[in-house]
Amino acid sequence: MVKIEEAIQQKEFKDPYNKLVVNLLYTHSYLVTAQASLFKPKDLSPEQYNVLRILRGQNGKPLTVSSIQDRMLNKMSNASRLVEKLKNKGMVKREECPADRRQVDIVITEKGLSVLNELEKQVEEFNQQIVNLNTQEVNELNDLLDKLRG
């Protein structure tokens, strides 16, 4: 186990709250970097994978780009750009909404579903390998993170 002080070569922190925030940011970066290597063979970014999962959860019902943006893990992501890249890869379709021609509906394609299905087992194994905690610790940490966000 590498402590945060070793990982970023810092002897001490101003206070435990500062250490926690730095630790969370560092851990986020660590997870995203590791995830990116998992998705790279499928020519996906973690953000594109997130969009596909959001759309799969709709069970064929379309979503607007703004609805996708609202559900994304990284709110700073440009959902329009991500959708366009996924469209160019044939993983999503953009369709004019029949009820409101100004609105564009996004749906996942069979190719998008197929890619998610191919990745599902790998993601499950990845999550269990990268999280060096037992089930009880995972549940405790989930509870603490929910509490942290208030």
pLDDT digits (tens, 9 = 90+) for 22-60: 999 999 999 999 999 999 999 999 999 999 999 999 998
The reply to whether 73 falls in a domain is yes
DSSP annotation string for 35-66: HHHHHGGGT--HHHHHHHHHHHTTTT--B-HH
Same-domain pairing of 9 and 21: yes
Q: Are 65 and 79 in contact (CB under 8 A)?
A: yes
Q: Are 104 and 64 in contact (CB under 8 A)?
A: yes
Q: Residue 97 — very low, low, confident or very high, per pLDDT cuts 50/70/90?
A: low
Structure tokens at 125: 């194994």
State the average pLDDT over residues 70-97: 90
The reply to whether 129 falls in a domain is no
Q: pTM, whole model, 2 decimals?
A: 0.86
Q: How far apart are CA 32 and CA 6, in angstroms?
A: 20
Number of domains in the chain: 2
Q: Assign residue 81 the CATH number of its domain.
A: 1.10.10.10
The reply to whether 106 falls in a domain is yes
Range of the domain at 90: 44-124
SS3 percent helix, strand, coil of the chain, rounded to 5, is: 65, 5, 30
The reply to whether 143 falls in a domain is no
Same-domain pairing of 38 and 48: no
